Amino acid sequence: MPTITYREAGKLAVQEAMQADPSVWCLGEDLGRGGVFGQYAGLETEFGDDRICSTPISEAAIMGAAVGAAMAGTRPIVEMRFADFALCAIDELVNQAAKARYMFGGQVKVPITVREPMGMWRSSAAQHSQSLEAWYTHIPGLVVVAPSTPADNYGLLSTSIKSDDPVVYMEHKNLWDVSGDVTLGQTLPLGKAHIAKHGGDVSVVTWSAQVHTALEAAEILATEGIEIEVIDLRSLWPWDEDTVAKSLAKTGRLVVCHEAVGVSGFGAEILATISERYFGLLKRPPIRVTAPRIPISYAPNLENEVKVTAKDISNAIRQMD
């Protein structure tokens, strides 16, 4: 069980998949140089430039080539550099990859894994900092994954590459250097949440980098005698309703937090589902803790104003008594 970084865990998952299956290959900008965050470092040397393909600067061309190659029988890993840039390829992903299996009556499949680095990262400003996971959960045919730890990045990416459905795989840029133990050879199922911390007072549901923020809030609140249960969804579609419901049966209180804008964010879907199907478990109205609906600034002081912090989560939880 080596201790490696989130970045290294993702790279290892790709490396092992390519070693095991010659139909797995990667394409995207600057992959031969290791990728913008170093998550492909050294892979071109091992596999050659026909399997680690550095492409022209055209996200639409990258995604379109991957969709066609997937329909022809390969398993492309598509690197979009930033989640924001993937919007240039939204038609190829949403109108083609997501729908092809259905529209052709199951005669073809599109087994692509689309890696989209997401979230705020050291003054990257409005066009390089967004968390757009809710856009993809809205689209039938897409799987959406957002790992929070090195172990999850390794296990979930390994599973995603083997999936016969298109997976939007969202890795948070602030987690690249986070270290943790990883069990080699261990894959993780899509759609199964992880309880990052057990507690009996409030259920906090989150994903990606916000898991670590929620755990900070848990430490703060524990000094006040409040024990929160932190649920890391890991997969946003499918998402693990059962684990959330079982936690609510114990706590009766629900807080959902995410870095993305609150308006139409995935937290709204969670609250709506809980209110419709599990309303009887709630002792208090559920709460969302999210970013406001404004662009993300370059200036650090303004960027900090839209971040969801452990203090924000703690204050929301204190309101539930």
Helix H or strand E encompassing 98 = helix 98-103
- Residue 41's CB: how many other CB atoms inside 10 A? 15
- Rounded to whole angstroms, the maximal C-alpha distance in the chain is 59
Q: Which of 8, 44, 59, 229 is catalytic?
A: 59
Nearest one of 175, 172, 180, 143 to 160, comparing CA atoms: 143
C-alpha–C-alpha distance, residues 284 and 319, integer Å: 10
Q: What are residue 179's DSSP bridge partners?
A: 5
Please, which residues have CB within 8 angstroms of residue 167's CB and are 6 or more apart in sequence? Answer: 112, 113, 114, 142, 143, 144, 145, 160, 190
| Tokens matching residue 261 | 């804008």
Torsion angle of the four alpha carbons 52, 57, 60, 62, in this order, in degrees rounded to the nearest 10: -10
Cα–Cα separations (whole angstroms), residue 58 to 37, 55, 66, 80: 19, 8, 12, 10
Is residue 152 within 8 Å of 188, Cβ to Cβ? Answer: yes
Token pair for residue 94?
Answer: 């949403």
Active site residue 29: no
29: β partners: none
Distance CA 114, CA 112 (A): 6
Q: Is 59 a catalytic residue?
A: yes
The catalytic position among 8, 44, 128, 172 is: 128
Q: Are 151 and 180 in contact (CB under 8 A)?
A: yes
In the DSSP assignment, the letter for residue 79 is E
State the catalytic residues: 59, 128
